[in-house]
Structure 1
Amino acid sequence: MSEQHPKDDTTHFGYQTIEADKKQAMVADVFHSVASKYDLMNDLMSFGVHRLWKRFTIDMSGVRPGNSVLDLAGGTGDLTKKFSRIVGPSGRVVLADINSSMLNVGRDRLTDQGYVGNIEYVQANAECLPFDDNSFDVITIAFGLRNVTDKDAALRSMTRVLKPGGRLLVLEFSKPTNPLMSKAYDLYSFSALPVMGKLVAGDSDSYQYLAESIRMHPDQETLKGMMEEAGLVRCSYHNMTSGVVALHRGIKP
């Protein structure tokens, strides 16, 4: 299942239906706008819980010293920073993001904190990754897949650059499993987030888009099926915070 529709070549930008070839630029505008306040907004929006979600992702990745890791849509570098410490001087971490503003914020932040030596920074489109086949032991994409125009193409591209036995981990907002949580989450997302975005980042429209993009993202079972279609095996997912977020994991055979 893909977000693109071959007959009319349209896709979703939040709740809007737009021409597929315009989505990338529209998403880029969102992240150019929010890049400088991205980390602060993440802490405020999730009450800091995003750090626990990311820690669980690292734990589930099985990353070891000497591994090669791709942190896709890595933004400001939360996962890259932790992976850099784990893989050590014999490993490498590639922080890749399609958005130059996010990539610059991440590079400046990690360099200022002394993370140099085993980290590379690459501006890359998830749908056509500029890496050789069988390059990475682990790929993570955290809160980025829902912004990709053709998710199926991106999953195929990630599978291609994984080494046999390599692991893909997709951390993303998903469908809450509890009806009460779902109602509370909707109210929070569509009432509080745009207001918070306006007050903190000076941009309510971008956070309205983020709330809508979460609702348009495939649910847990659908995404699991998409990963299997891309060629991954032993695909599974783990719900966190009552399914507000899910971590999907698949292995390249």
Structure 2
Amino acid sequence: MAPAAEEHPQDPRRIRAMFDAVAPRYDLMNDIMSFGIHRRWKRRLRRMAGKPFGRGLALDLAGGTGDIADELSDGGWAVVVCDASEGMMATGRDRNAGPRVRWVGGDAERLPFPDGTFDLVTLGFGLRNFRDRDAALAEIVRVLAPEGRFLCLEFSTPARPIRGLYRSYSRRMIPRLGAAVAGKPEAYRYLIDSIADFPDQRTLVGWFQQAGLTDVRYRNLMFGIAAIHGGRRPAAHP
């Protein structure tokens, strides 16, 4: 039997409250946990996005404090950050994200945008947090313009030689860092559990294809600790 809604690990209210609580120290924690490597991964995402095409309009879904949006804006894209956490977006606005960035509160499973709005959708470390991932992927495809691109940066399954060491570091150190820096060890225990429960690279390829994306490929980062998956909405989406 499925757990009750309020007990579901990806319960939207729980996730939103968790991110609101950690927002002031979220970027600092990411820098500490990854030794700053997450910023290199996000720059790689920007390079994969390439130069603006079409109308040059991008959606950074679950964009949080806007660090990916800043990268895209620097690359010439006009960017809309959409996130369910007002606390995260407030932190990003206070940090003075680029002038080509707009902020919109919204649910990934019911995006507040018309069909075919965006030439590019990016999603960084957010897919794990959606309760109905099929619905979120369907919404992403819906708001993409024909031949628009989707790029998803997410934790994944590391190569076998480093898998044990990585998981040991994650389970032992990250909750302690969460307690020391952010004062929220429970949020970072959730982070580790959500990474462990997330499917591997090839499974995610299948999810993208089932959602209707074509040319689906992925690139491993740091031996598969993270990966960037990409796909394209067909010119004539069913």
Q: Above 0.5 in TM-score?
A: yes
User: Are residues 1:97 and 2:79 paired?
Assistant: no
User: Are residues 1:64 and 2:52 paired?
Assistant: yes
Which of 34, 43, 56 pairs up with 1:55?
A: 43
Structure 2 CA distance for aligned equivalents of residues 19 and 239 of structure 1: 29
Aligned residues: 233
User: Are residues 1:106 and 2:88 paired?
Assistant: no
Which of 105, 129, 144 pairs up with 2:126?
A: 144
Structure 2 CA distance for aligned equivalents of residues 188 and 173 of structure 1: 15
Contact 2:79 2:102 in 1 (8 A): yes
Q: Which amino acid aligns with 2:177?
A: M
Match of 1:39 in 2: 27
Offset of 1:79 from its aligned partner? 1.2
TM-score when normalising by structure 2: 0.93
Alpha-carbon deviations, 1:7-29, whole Å to 9, x = none? Answer: x45489xxxx9348x71111112
Alpha-carbon deviations, 1:201-227, whole Å to 9, x = none? Answer: 111111111011111112111111011
Q: Which amino acid aligns with 1:85?
A: D
Which of 86, 95, 101 pairs up with 2:75?
A: 86
User: Are residues 1:184 and 2:165 paired?
Assistant: yes
Offset of 1:40 from its aligned partner? 0.4
Match of 2:110 in 1: 128
Q: Which amino acid aligns with 1:156?
A: A
The secondary structure found in structure 1 opposite 2:11 is helix
Change (3 A) 1:229 1:10: farther
User: Are residues 1:196 and 2:182 paired?
Assistant: no
Q: Which amino acid aligns with 1:102?
A: M
CA RMSD of aligned residues (A): 1.8
Structure 2 CA distance for aligned equivalents of residues 205 and 63 of structure 1: 40
Structure 2 CA distance for aligned equivalents of residues 122 and 71 of structure 1: 10
User: Are residues 1:77 and 2:58 paired?
Assistant: no
Contact 1:69 1:92 in 2 (8 A): yes
Offset of 1:110 from its aligned partner? 2.3
Contact 2:42 2:71 in 1 (8 A): no
Percent of paired sites with the same residue:
42
